[in-house]
């Protein structure tokens, strides 16, 4: 993913011209192909490759021959919003270039086999010891959940978070469920959850039989509003679940103080925030049990995977048993509890260990990306990046910002236009209380901040493998779209 391909403009030639113009275009773009467009509508009408030119000259064409007599009229093109996987599937050894067109059949981008130009939102970086460690598992036959990498992964994680215990599990969702279960959360209890989060946060509460109590987020950093939490506490409240959304740490001083004052557990959902810090303490070290996700798009990945960090030793011991079918640690096949199989495999942990070896590099790369985006985009009217505060280190899992009304371009239009410029983005989560399974938990008065942020937020490409040129391309596309200088707007 190093150099960028020539922009689409350098690939285009008008159909009214001569063969000479097409050869000149191919000479400049150095791609061996050009796309022929109608001069008035800019619609794609043909393609011409080096090979087509050679064959035409051999058949007697000259540099002055009309281009329309030589170009190929039968060719493959795809809509610019075709899913990445589909475009990749269509690129074959015989079909190296595919023009990507907008709704009016105008070429706005192109894909090619040796360099796919779409800049993705997230991508794992598996270039350390991942392959060597996985190979070790396979060569030694330790592919299931027994084996040295699971414990090593837990050890590295617990040291990184500065906590006494860590437990590796199958994914971030079961991590939340197991954390709540190990703390004894059950039917009849209430757990306070932000309205603005991924569904796994609330689902895990529902798995325990407890009732989720939704609260709104703060307008500045979109994390759980401590004042709203305070008002939501009832005699049935057992836990508060702060979610460090998109990497931004919640107001942990206030939330910890509330939990302590009311005798509640704190369960941090750190799925999106590995590497983030609040007042110089890592997230995942404030609550009794805290969870992480290692899905493929996360800051470190094991494919699927999760971790629970504990400051409460009893909860850790209980969770370790529940993770393994509730089986007694002393007596094999003796079950004191109804447990689960929530184990992580040694193969996955092997990837996790290799990822943790590079955690400082990965977090630094995310931080750098966040700094560049913040610097470059802050000047754009109506775009609101996450705030910066001396109290927090944001690990920018996904660099997420608001496209407010002042932008003059609605969030979804901005997403569509960026895609036409070869840039993938993601809209943020929907408010939980608006979706069918959770409507019954909508708080009185709703969650107006979540409603607004949810309709305006989008995440930019945030993979650690992004090159400077790619980050620059995202920023300049945004600048030109919002400056209305974009060719395709």
Ligand X SMILES: Cc1ncc(COP(=O)(O)O)c(C=O)c1O
Residue ranges that bind ligand X, judged by CB under 6 A: 171-173, 197-198, 200-201, 243, 269, 271-272, 293, 295, 306
Ordered alpha helix ranges (H), 129-262: 130-140, 148-161, 172-182, 199-208, 226-232, 252-262
According to DSSP, the residues that pair with 449 across neighbouring strands are: none
If the CB atoms of residues 116 and 441 are measured against ligand X, the closer one turns out to be 441
> How far apart are the C-alpha atoms of 171 and 135, rounded to whole Å?
22
Closest distance to ligand X from the beta carbon of 397 (Å): 8
Residue number, 293 or 309, with CB nearest to ligand X: 293
Among candidate residues 170, 164, 162, the one with its CA nearest the CA of residue 316: 164
CB of 158 to ligand X, least distance (A): 19
Q: How far is the CB of 17 from ligand X (least distance, A)?
A: 51
Structure tokens at 311: 């400051």
Whether the Cβ atoms of residue 459 and residue 431 lie closer than 8 Å to each other? no
Which one, 25 or 301, has the nearer CB to ligand X?
A: 301
Query: Would you say 37 and 43 are in contact if contact means Cβ atoms under 8 Å apart?
Result: yes
Q: 16 near 42, Cβ under 8 Å?
A: no
Q: CB-wise, 19 or 185, nearer to ligand X?
A: 185
322's enclosing H/E stretch is helix 313-323
Residue nearest to ligand X (CB): 172
Which of 194, 422 has the CB closer to ligand X?
194
Max CA distance (Å), the chain: 90
C-beta of 268: minimal distance to ligand X in Å? 10
What is the distance between the alpha carbons of residues 443 and 5, in angstroms, rounded to a whole number? 50
Q: Shortest approach of ligand X to residue 246 CB, angstroms?
A: 9
Measured between alpha carbons, how far apart are the two ends of the chain, in Å? 27
* Smallest separation, CB 242 to ligand X (Å): 10
What is the smallest separation between the CB atom of 56 and ligand X, expressed in angstroms?
53
Of 12, 13, 148, the closest CA to residue 67 belongs to 13
In the complex, the smallest distance separating the C-beta of residue 241 from ligand X, rounded to whole angstroms, is 9
Q: d(Cα 212, Cα 269) in Å, to the nearest integer? A: 14
Close Cβ partners of 236 (under 8 Å, ≥ 6 residues apart): 188, 189, 190, 211
Least distance from ligand X to the Cβ atom of residue 111, Å = 28
The three-point CA angle 343-248-297 to 5° equals 45
Nearer to ligand X, 147 or 306 (CB): 306
Block residue for tokens 């600048």: 479
Closer Cβ to ligand X, 25 or 276, answer by number: 276
Q: How far is the CB of 201 from ligand X (least distance, A)?
A: 5
* Identity of the residue, 173 or 276, whose beta carbon is nearer to ligand X in the bound complex: 173
Alpha carbons 387 and 218: distance in angstroms, whole number: 12
Shortest distance, CB of residue 112 to ligand X, whole angstroms? Answer: 32
User: What whole-number distance in Å separates Cα of residue 93 and Cα of residue 89?
Assistant: 11
What are the two backbone dihedrals, phi and then psi, of residue 293, each rounded to the nearest 5 degrees?
Answer: -120, 145
Name which of 35 and 397 has its Cβ closer to ligand X. Answer: 397
- When the beta carbons of 202 and 232 are compared against ligand X, the nearer one is 202
Q: In whole angstroms, how close is the CB of 39 to ligand X at the nearest point?
A: 48
Q: What's the CA gap between 437 and 251, in Å, rounded?
A: 28
Spatial contact of 76 and 52, defined as CB atoms under 8 Å apart: no
Task: Give the Cα separation of 215 and 230 in Å (integer).
Answer: 10
Strand ranges, E, within 177-335: 190-194, 211-215, 237-240, 265-266, 277-278, 281-282, 289-293, 306-310
Whichever of 160 and 198 has its CB closer to ligand X, that residue is 198
Nearer to ligand X, 45 or 398 (CB): 398
């Amino acid at each position: 993913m190093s150099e960028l391909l020539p922009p689409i403009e350098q690939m285009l030639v008008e159909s009214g011209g001569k063969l000479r113009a097409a050869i000149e275009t191919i000479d400049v773009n150095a791609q061996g192909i050009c796309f022929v467009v109608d001069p008035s509508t800019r619609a794609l009408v043909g393609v011409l490759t080096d090979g087509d030119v050679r064959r035409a000259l051999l058949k007697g064409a000259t540099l002055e021959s009309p281009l329309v007599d030589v170009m190929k009229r039968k060719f493959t093109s795809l809509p610019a919003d075709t899913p990445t996987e589909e475009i990749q599937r269509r690129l074959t050894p015989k079909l190296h270039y595919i023009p990507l067109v907008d709704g009016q059949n105008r070429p706005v981008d192109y894909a090619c086999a040796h360099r796919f130009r779409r800049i993705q939102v997230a991508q794992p970086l598996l270039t350390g010891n991942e392959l060597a460690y996985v190979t070790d598992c396979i060569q030694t036959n330790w592919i299931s959940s027994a084996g040295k990498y699971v414990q090593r992964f837990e050890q590295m994680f617990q040291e990184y978070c500065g906590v006494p215990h860590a437990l590796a599990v199958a994914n971030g969702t079961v991590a939340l469920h197991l954390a709540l279960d190990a703390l004894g959360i059950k039917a009849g209890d209430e757990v306070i959850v932000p309205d603005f989060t991924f569904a796994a946060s609330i689902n895990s509460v529902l798995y325990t039989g407890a009732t989720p109590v939704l609260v709104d987020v703060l307008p500045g950093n979109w994390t759980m509003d401590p004042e709203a939490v305070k008002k939501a506490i009832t005699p049935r409240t057992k836990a508060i679940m702060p979610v460090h959304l998109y990497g931004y740490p919640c107001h942990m001083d206030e939330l910890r103080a509330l939990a302590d004052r009311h005798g509640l557990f704190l369960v941090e959902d750190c799925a999106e925030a590995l590497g983030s810090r609040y007042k110089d303490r890592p997230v995942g070290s404030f609550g009794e049990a805290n969870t992480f996700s290692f899905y493929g798009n996360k800051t470190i990945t094991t494919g699927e995977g999760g971790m629970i960090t504990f400051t409460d030793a009893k909860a850790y011991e209980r969770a370790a048993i529940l993770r393994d079918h509730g089986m007694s640690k002393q007596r094999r096949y003796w079950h004191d509890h109804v447990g689960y199989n929530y184990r992580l495999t040694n193969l996955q942990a092997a990837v996790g260990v290799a990822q943790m070896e590079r955690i400082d590099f990965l977090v630094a790369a995310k931080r750098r990306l966040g700094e560049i985006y913040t610097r470059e985009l802050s000047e754009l009217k109506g775009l609101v990046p996450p705030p910066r505060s001396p109290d927090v280190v944001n690990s920018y899992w996904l660099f997420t910002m608001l496209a407010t009304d002042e932008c003059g371009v609605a969030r979804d239009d901005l997403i569509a236009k960026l895609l036409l410029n070869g840039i993938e983005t993601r809209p943020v989560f929907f408010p939980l209380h608006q979706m069918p399974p959770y409507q019954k938990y909508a708080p009185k008065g709703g969650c107006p901040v979540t409603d607004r942020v949810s309709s305006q937020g989008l995440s930019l490409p945030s993979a650690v493998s992004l090159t400077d040129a790619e980050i620059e391309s995202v920023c300049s596309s945004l600048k030109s779209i919002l400056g209305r200088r974009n060719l395709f707007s």
